[in-house]
Chains A and B, each alone.
Chain A
C-alpha cells in the first residue's frame, strides 16, 4: 500500500520558508506573486495500514502545534501548484532517518519512503513566469523533477542486475576508434594514453573488460594523477625555452625539501599535510576544490565538497579528528543580468545561495566550525564557479602513518554504494558545456552528513584501539581509487557483490567506480575484525569485508566468482605515459588608469567598501556554525558589535592548553591577470600577513597551494601556471615557509556558443600556524581613544590589479612585488611586538589598500580616527597611491601612547610611520600628503556602505 502524506502549516503560522521563496521570486524580476506556501510530502509504501499511516503522520511527521497533515492530496490555496521530487537514485537523506523513526514507533512494514516538496504560488503570473520560477528556483533537473513528469527518469534506480562480462574491443582498434572509446565512455584519456593501454593488452593477448578500462581511466585521470604538474613541459618565456621535468618537484615540493623543517611530519604523501602541534599531537590541513559539481548543482556540489575534504582528514594517517573548516568561493557577479548568463548555466546568485547553504548544511551537521573563508566575484567565474573547501584535523602523534600489509582484510565502512557519482573523477578533468548537466548528471550528488558524522564518531574509537593499520577515503574514483591506492605495491582482491548497495541493479563496474559519499576503506588484521565490526554495529554504522590485500602485486576483482578485472598494479600506477606539453608566457599589456589629482576621496572609499570583493560577508558567515566544539578564540567576525572582518581565525583545540592554531587564506586573481608570478608572491604574502596580524609568528607556519586554472592543454594557460609555480617557489623559499600539501583543478573552462571561456588563473594559498599562547591573540578592531596608529611596510606605486583600478575600470600593469628580505624583518618584528603585548589591534592591508584597512578597523571598533598620510613610508607622494595601492607586507597597528617608545625601538629597521590616532569620535578623517583633509566621513556611513551589498 502506498500512502501520500502531506504536511502543511496551520493557518496563521508564520511561514519563513514560503517567504524566502517569495523573496527569491522577486529577485527574478517577478513581482506579482502574493504568497508562497510550501508543504512537505512523504510517500510511504509497504505493509502499512491506514491507522499506521495516521499515527506516522500525526505523531511523527507533523508538528502538532504548527502543522497539520492530510493523507491523500491536499487542496491548497488558489494559484499554481508544483510538486518537486528527487530523481531516482539521488540520495534523499530523510529516507533513512524517517524509516528509523517509524521503526522506533513499532511500525515495521515500511519498504520505501520518499519526500517531495510542494509549492503553492498565489498571484497573477504568466505560464512563462511560472516555468521560470520552477526552473530557476524550485528545482534543478540534475537531481530533481516535477513530480507529475515521473516518466522523465534517467534510470538510475534499476531492476535486478544479471551478470554479463563486458569487454571492449581494443586489440583491433585504430587510433580513431581508440579516441571514440575514450570519448563515448567518458574516460577523458588522450590518444597517447589509449595507445599505451592498447599496448598493455596486446601483450596480454586479450581485450580489456569495461571495468579494467574504467579503473585505468580513473587512476590516470588528471584529478587523481596530477598529470600536468608531474609531466614534461616545454616552457617558453620571452623567446627563451627550457624543459621542466615535473613542475611540482621543481617548485612546490622543492621548497619543502630544501627547508627541511623538523616539524613537518608528513608532506605530499598522504591525504593531507601533517605538522607537529605539541608533545602529544600532530595537526593536518587539506584544501580541496569541488568546482564542476557546484556549477551544476550548487547545493549538492558544495555539500559533497566539504564532505569530501572532511573525509580526506579522516583518511590521513590513521585518521584525524576534524576540528575546523575554511571555505573560499569565487562566483560570477550576483547582480548579473539573467539574459547574460550563458545557456545551461545557473545564475551566479543562485549558485552562491546554493553553495553557501550546501556548505552550511553539511559543515554544521558535521559539528565542525567554519571559522574562516573568503568570497570573491568576477564575471569570468559565471559559468565555472570555484568552491574551495578546507579542513583542519588533529591526531595523536603515533597515529600519523599508515601501512597496509598483505593478508589484511579490506573493510568498507559508512554509506552504501549507489549509482550516484559515476564518473566524477574523469568528469572533473574535462570542460563544462551546456550539456554537462544532462550528460554528467550522475556525477552530482547530495550528501548525507549524518552518515559521515556517525562514521567519524566510530572511526576515531576504532583508531584509538588500534584496530586497523591503514585507512583511505572513497573520494573521486570510489573503491577503485581507495583500494587501488592502498594496494599499491602489494596487491588486492575484491569480491564486488559484497559491497552493500543502496538499491539493486548496479553492475560490477558501477559498484567499483561509484563515488557514492560517506564511505571509507580500512585495512584490518583478521584478528581485530570482530572487535572492529562491533564498534560500528553499536552505533548503527555499516561495515563489511569486501576483500583482502595480497602480495602478488595484482588488482583482481570478482563478481560472484567471475573475474572482471585482473591488472598489474605496477602498470596501473606507473604505466601512465608522461605528458609532454608546451607552455608559453608573455607579459600582457593592460589599460592603465589615468588619475587626476583629487581633493576628496570620500566617494572613492565608499565605492570601494561597497564593491563585491571588499563588502561584508556577514550574510554568509552567520549561516555557518563557527562556535561548535567550543574552541574558537578569534572568530571570523570581531569588534564592538561582532561584525568586523577579522583577518585569520584562531582555535585552541584543547580546553586545558593555551596552544592554538591559526588559519588564513590568501587569494587575488586580479594580480594574476598581470603576472601569475607576482600573484603567487602576493597571495603567499597575504596568507602570512594574516597570521602575523592576529599575533602569530612564522616560526611554525606552513602553507598549502591550490591552483584552479583553465585548460592547460592550451600553451598560454599552462604558461601562466608555470609562472605561478615559480612565484610559489621563490616567495616561499625566501620566507622560509614550507608547502605541506596542495591540489590542482585544471580545465576550469566553459563554452559559450562553442567558444571557450577560462576562469582567471586562481591560486589560493592557505596557511596553518601553531600559536604558543592564544591569550596573546589580537583582533583588528580599534580599541581605545587616544591610541596611536602606525602603518608598517612601504607603500609603492603598485596600483596594477588593485581594487581601486577595478572600480575605475582598468587593470594596470604594475602589480605588487614581494620583497621577502624586508618582509621577513617586518613579520618577525611585528610578532615580537605582539608577543610583548604592545599591539592592541592589527589589520593587514589587502584589497582596497590602506584606506579600506583603516576604515574597517575604525567602524569595527566603533571609533573614528584622525590620520595623515605624510608619515606613511613611501617614495610616492601621491594620495591615491598611498590610500589604495595594494603593496605587500603592510599592516596598520594600534599602540598605546605609553608604549610609543618601546614599539618604535623594537620596530627599528622596518619601515614604520606614525599616521595619527584613534579619535574616539564618529569621524573618519584623513589628511593627504599636502596636509589637506582628503577624507572626512562618519564611520557609520562607511559601515553602511560596506554592509549593504550582501545584506540579503
Chain B
C-alpha cells in the first residue's frame, strides 16, 4: 500500500518539524511540511492526508500564552476542515506546543464541543525546563485501551520535556473525572516536573485518535538521543518511536 501521508503543520515559530518528520519517515510514513497559510488559503487541503501532526515550537513566540495564537487561528480558519478530518476517522497528534494548541482550541480533551475544558499553564517552578522524565503509559493496565497511538507501549517510557508552560489543569473536577472514566489520560509523570494536576502529561480525545502530550517522543526515536546511551548501551530505536509506528500502522490497517 501507499505510504500514509502525514502533514507536518508549520507556522511562525514551529521548531520541531524536522525531527517529527524524521520520526514519521522512519516509521514508514510520508511526511510533508505544510504552512498553515497554505491550508487557510486553500492552496493545500487536509483531505489529502491521513495524519495531522502539530509539532513543538514556540508558535508566534508563545505571546499571550503558549499555543494560544495558533489555537485561535485553528479555531477561526481551520475549524470545519479539522472537524471533518477527525470525524472521517483520521489521526491527529500534537506534541508540546502542538498539544497546547489543541487544548486551547478546544479539540482536546474534546468532551463537549469546541470549548476549552483544560489548559496548560506555567510550570510551578516558573521557569522553562529541559529534562528527561519517566512516563507511565496507561496501556499496561488496560486491554481495550482507547488511544490508538499508545497501543502496546511498555508500562513506562522515557522521554524529554522542554517547556515553560506544561502544567495541565482541567477546568474542574468533573472534567478530570470524565477524563479518568473515559481512559483519556494516556501518560502520567512518575516524578511530576511541572505541577500538572493528577500528574497528567498527555491525553487523547474521546475517539482515541487525537493525542496530545507535553513530552517529545520524536526526540527519543533514535538510540543516540537517550541521555545515557553511553552507559546503558545503544539501542536502534528510542521509546518514542513506537508512538509514530502505531500511528502509521493504524493508517495502513484501517484507512
Q: Which residues of A contact B (CB under 8 A)?
A: 13-14, 16-17, 19-20, 59-61, 63-66, 93-94, 97-98, 100-101, 104-106, 360, 364-367, 448-450, 453-454, 457, 538-540, 621-635, 637-640, 642, 652, 655, 774-775, 777-779, 781, 783, 861
Number of interface residues of B (CB under 8 A): 63
User: Complex: how many Å from CA A861 to CA B232?
Assistant: 12
Given A66-B169, A101-B69, A640-B228, also A540-B37 (CB < 8 A): yes
In this assembly, does B73 line the interface, its C-beta being within 8 Å of a C-beta of chain A? yes
In this assembly, does B151 line the interface, its C-beta being within 8 Å of a C-beta of chain A? no
User: Complex: how many Å from CA A778 to CA B231?
Assistant: 9
Given A101-B73, A642-B228, A777-B230, also A360-B64 (CB < 8 A): no
- Which residues from B are CB-within-8-Å of A779? 230-231
Given A104-B72, A367-B15, A775-B234, also A16-B65 (CB < 8 A): no
5 A-B pairs closest in CB distance = A367-B15, A630-B19, A16-B126, A97-B60, A779-B230
Q: Is the CB of A360 within 8 A of B61?
A: no
CB-CB contacts below 8 Å: B103-153 with A:
104, 116, 118-119, 121-132
Q: Which residues of B contact A (CB under 8 A)?
A: 10, 12-16, 18-19, 22, 26, 35, 37-38, 56-58, 60-65, 68-69, 72-73, 76-77, 104, 116, 118-119, 121-132, 160, 162, 167, 169-171, 195, 216, 218-219, 221-222, 224-225, 227-228, 230-231, 234
Residue from A19, A65, A105, A457 within 8 A of B76 (CB atoms): A105
Residue from A64, A450, A631, A638 within 8 A of B116 (CB atoms): A64
- Which residues from A are CB-within-8-Å of B125? 16
Q: Is the CB of B16 within 8 A of A367?
A: yes
* Residue among B12, B22, B125, B216 with the highest chain A CB neighbour number at 10 A: B12
User: Complex: how many Å from CA A642 to CA B193?
Assistant: 15
Given A63-B65, A538-B35, also A630-B218 (CB < 8 A): yes
Q: Is the CB of A63 within 8 A of B61?
A: no
| B214, chain A: closest CB distance, angstroms | 13
Q: Is the CB of A623 within 8 A of B230?
A: no
Q: Is the CB of A629 within 8 A of B231?
A: no
Given A453-B13, A628-B15, also A448-B221 (CB < 8 A): no
Q: Is the CB of B216 within 8 A of A627?
A: yes
User: Complex: how many Å from CA A64 to CA B170?
Assistant: 11
User: Complex: how many Å from CA A633 to CA B12?
Assistant: 27
Q: Is the CB of A364 within 8 A of B128?
A: yes
Q: Is the CB of A105 within 8 A of B72?
A: yes
User: Complex: how many Å from CA A638 to CA B232?
Assistant: 12
Q: Is the CB of A457 within 8 A of B61?
A: no
Given A16-B124, A65-B169, A652-B224, also A94-B77 (CB < 8 A): no
User: Complex: how many Å from CA A704 to CA B106?
Assistant: 50
User: Complex: how many Å from CA A539 to CA B59?
Assistant: 13
- Which residues from A are CB-within-8-Å of B76? 104-106
* Residue among A360, A457, A630 with the highest chain B CB neighbour number at 10 A: A630
Additional A-B contacts beyond A66-B119, A538-B35, A540-B12 (6; CB < 8 A):
A64-B116, A64-B171, A98-B69, A627-B130, A627-B160, A630-B221
- Which residues from B are CB-within-8-Å of A655? 19, 22, 26, 222
15 A-B interface contacts by CB (under 8 A): A20-B126, A63-B65, A64-B116, A64-B119, A97-B64, A104-B76, A364-B162, A450-B60, A539-B35, A628-B16, A635-B227, A639-B228, A642-B228, A655-B22, A655-B222
- Which residues from B are CB-within-8-Å of A631? 19
Q: Is the CB of A101 within 8 A of B225?
A: no
* Residue among A100, A457, A781 with the highest chain B CB neighbour number at 10 A: A457
User: Complex: how many Å from CA A781 to CA B104?
Assistant: 42
| A834, chain B: closest CB distance, angstroms | 12
Given A20-B126, A101-B73, A655-B222, also A628-B162 (CB < 8 A): yes
- Which residues from B are CB-within-8-Å of A638? 227-228, 230
User: Complex: how many Å from CA A19 to CA B126?
Assistant: 8
Given A454-B12, A628-B162, also A94-B118 (CB < 8 A): no
Q: Is the CB of A360 within 8 A of B128?
A: yes
| A657, chain B: closest CB distance, angstroms | 11
Q: Is the CB of B171 within 8 A of A630?
A: no
- Which residues from A are CB-within-8-Å of B69? 97-98, 100-101, 104
User: Complex: how many Å from CA A559 to CA B57?
Assistant: 40
Residue from A65, A93, A861 within 8 A of B171 (CB atoms): A65
| B219, chain A: closest CB distance, angstroms | 5
* Residue among B57, B76, B130 with the highest chain A CB neighbour number at 10 A: B130
| A624, chain B: closest CB distance, angstroms | 6
| A368, chain B: closest CB distance, angstroms | 8
Residue of A nearest to B19 (CB): A630
Given A64-B116, A101-B73, A627-B130, also A365-B230 (CB < 8 A): no
| B131, chain A: closest CB distance, angstroms | 6
Given A65-B119, A779-B231, A781-B231, also A623-B18 (CB < 8 A): no
Residue from B14, B18, B119, B131 within 8 A of A63 (CB atoms): B119
- Which residues from B are CB-within-8-Å of A774? 224
User: Complex: how many Å from CA A364 to CA B165?
Assistant: 13
Given A60-B72, A93-B63, A366-B15, also A630-B38 (CB < 8 A): no
Given A627-B216, A637-B227, also A97-B63 (CB < 8 A): yes
- Which residues from A are CB-within-8-Å of B132? 642
| A105, chain B: closest CB distance, angstroms | 6
| A458, chain B: closest CB distance, angstroms | 10
Q: Is the CB of B58 within 8 A of A365?
A: yes
User: Complex: how many Å from CA A94 to CA B118?
Assistant: 24
- Which residues from B are CB-within-8-Å of A100? 60, 69
User: Complex: how many Å from CA A87 to CA B185?
Assistant: 46
Q: Is the CB of B19 within 8 A of A629?
A: yes
- Which residues from A are CB-within-8-Å of B129? 622-623
- Which residues from A are CB-within-8-Å of B131? 622, 642
Residue of A nearest to B195 (CB): A14
- Which residues from A are CB-within-8-Å of B57? 367
User: Complex: how many Å from CA A642 to CA B130?
Assistant: 11
Residue from A450, A626, A781 within 8 A of B61 (CB atoms): A450
Q: Is the CB of B171 within 8 A of A448?
A: no
Residue of A nearest to B70 (CB): A101
- Which residues from A are CB-within-8-Å of B222? 630, 655
Q: Is the CB of A365 within 8 A of B72?
A: no
User: Complex: how many Å from CA A631 to CA B104?
Assistant: 30
User: Complex: how many Å from CA A316 to CA B234?
Assistant: 36
Given A94-B64, A627-B216, A779-B230, also A65-B130 (CB < 8 A): no
Given A93-B61, A104-B76, also A457-B230 (CB < 8 A): no
